[in-house]
Structure 1
Amino acid sequence: MKIATIVGARPQFIKMAPVSREIRKKFKELIIHTGQHYDYEMDRIFFEELDIPKPDCHLGVGSGTHGYQTGTMLKKIEEILIQEKPDLVLVYGDTNSTLAGALAGAKLGIKVAHVEAGLRSFDRSMPEEVNRVLTDHCSDFLFCPTETAVKNLHREGINDGVYLTGDVMVDSLLHNKEIAESRSGILDELGLKSKEYIVATIHRASNTDRKENLESIVNAFCEMEEIIVFPVHPRTKKYLKKYGLFDKLRASVKLIKPLGYLDFLKLMNHAKKIITDSGGIQKEAYILKIPCVTLRENTEWIETVEDGWNMLVAIDKDNIIRAIHQFQPSSVKHKERFGSGGAAGKIAKYLAE
C-alpha cells in the first residue's frame, strides 16, 4: 500500500515522526510538505532532530490568508495525488494543510485517514475548529487520541472507522525526553536554573492580531516579576513590532527565537509553569506534569482542565498575573489520559488490517 502523508506545520512534524517510522515498516510512504511553515526554526530543524525522511514533494505555499493557503494547497496536492496514485492520504491535526489534504483525497475518491481526530473546542470562531470538523467528516479512518474524542465523533453521527489509539505526541515525547536531557544545553545557554523560570508561547491569531489582547499579555508579562522565557513565533513578532510592544517586552522578558524540538522539550521539562495559547503545549505540559495557564476561553484538550493541571484564563492583565502567581494543580493525581505510548504502532496496525 502506498500512503501519501501530508504535513506543513511544526506540530505535524512532531506527530508524524513516530507514525512515519511505523508505517514504513509495512508500507511505502510519500511525504508531501505544503510549506505552511517554512522558517528553519519552524521547519527543517524538526526533520533533522526527529530523523524524519526528507519530503518527496515540497509545495512552497508559505504564508497567506486562510482561503489562499487552503485553496493553493488543495490545487497542488490534487496534482500530486493524480500523478502518484496513492491508496491512502494521511493527515494530522487541524491546520489548513490538514483540511486541504483531506479534501484533495476525498474528492479524488482516495481513502483519508486523520490522526488526532475528534477534538472539539466547540468554538467555530477558531479556524482550527472548522478544519477539525470538516476533516473528520470526510475521513474514512479516524484515529482518536482520547475517549473524549471518540465520544465527540459519535455525537456527530460518525461511528464507522473510529479507533482509539492514544496520542502520537506521547510517543514523540517519550522517545525524545531522555535524548533532550542529554543533548540539549539550552538551560546553560540561557543562564537558567531548573524550576526557577516560566516558559511562554503565544501565537494564536485571537491573541496576536488584536492589539488590546496582545497589549494585555505584554503588560502582564512585564509586571509579573518572574523570569519568563518566550520563544517568539514569527506571527507574534510581526504584531509585537506592528503595535510598538516589542521593545517593551524585550526589556522584561527573555525573548528568543523559536527552538527545535529537543531544546524546547528540555526547556518545558524544567519550567515551574507554562503560559501558552497552543493546544499541543497544553497537552505536553500535562504529560510532563508542569502546571499550565492557557490564555484562551476554551480548549480542545478538556482533559487537562478536568484533571486540574491546566487553567483557562480570559485575556486580562490582572487575571493573567493572578493565575500565574496562584495556580497550582488541584490534584496530585495524573492519569494516562493520552495513552502510555505506542499510538503510532496501533495506527500502522489498524491500517494494515
Structure 2
Amino acid sequence: MGNPRQLRSITGAALLTKFAVSRGMTMPAVLQHTGIAEGQLQDPSAEITLDQEITLIRNIVTETGHEPGLGLMAGLLCHPPSLGVLGFAVMSSSTLRHALEIVVRYADLLFTATHFALEDHDDELWLVRDHDAVPNDLKQFLAERDFAALPTIQHDLFPVRVPTLRFEIAGKPHPVYEMFGALFGTDNIIFNAPQSIVVWHSSALDVPLPQANPATAQFYEQQCAELIQRRHKRNGLSGRVRELLIRHRGVTAQTRVAADLGVSVRTLRRRLADEGITFRELNNETMGMLAEELLLAGLTVEQTADRLGYGSASAFTSAFRSWKGQSPGLFARANRGRAAEWA
C-alpha cells in the first residue's frame, strides 16, 4: 500500500459509500473515524488521503462481517467516467492494450489501494497485482473489487468480452467466485496462487476501440501526469497547507491558514520559503487544480466561480487566465465537451 497520507480523488470512496448505503449501512457508520464529511462525497474535485479511504473500507468490511463476494459487487459499479481524467484517457485510447498501459502507468489515480504491473511472457500478457502491502483484513474485499472492476471497465470500452487464458488469484475458493469465470470469459481459474494475475494472449488486447482519439488521449494523459505530480510533490508544511486550501474549498486568506496551523503568518511564510514555494504560488496551484476539476465535472464558469469563493465570474476568469493561459470558458468547451461524449 502507498503512503497513508497520499492524496487521492474522493470518487472511489463516494462509490463505496453509495454501495454500502444500498446494502443497508447508515452514512454515519460508513464515515465514522474517517474525517470525511458527507458533503465532500458530492464534490468530484474533493481529495482525501489513502488512510482515510482505508478506514472507510474497513468500516464497510467490518460492518458486513467480511462477507465473501461483497467486493465483487462493489467492483461492478466501477465505470470509466468515475475515474475522472484517467477514465477519459482510457476511453480515448487506441486499443485495449493501450488503455491497460495507461491504467497501470497512472494507477495512483485509480480507486485501488495496491499496485499493478504489465509483463510480457512470450505470446502472453500478464497483469500482475501486488497485494503484499494491503492490510490482511482487507485483502479479500480489495482483490474482489479490483478484479471485478477490470472486466466491467473493459466491457464499457469494447462491448465484446475479450477471452482470458487464465485467472490466478491469491485467495481461497468460494462458490460466489464462479462469477469471475463469467466476467473474464474463462473456466481456467486458479485459487491459492502465489500472486494474483490475469493472463491474455498478447494479440487479444490489440482491439481498436470505437472512441479512439489520439489527440484527446494525449491531452488527458498529460492531465493525469500533472495531477499525479501535484499530489506527490507537496510534502512537509506545503502539503499540509495544500490540504487546508482544499478543505476550505475556495479563496482563503493566508491568516486563516496560519491560524489553522497554529503559527504566525511570518512563520508560515518563512517555513514555506524553506521548502521553495510561496503561499501565493501554492494557493494558485491548488485553486487552478480545483477549477479544472470542477469545470471538467460539468459546472459552469459562474458555478465554479461561486464554488471557489470569487465575487464574480469575471474575477474568476481573470485568475484562471493567469494560471492556465486561457479562459475557463474556452477550457470547458474544449475539454468538458469531450467528456460529455462518454457521460
Does TM-score exceed 0.5, indicating one fold?
A: no
TM-score, scaled to structure 1: 0.31
**Greater fraction of residues in strand:** 1
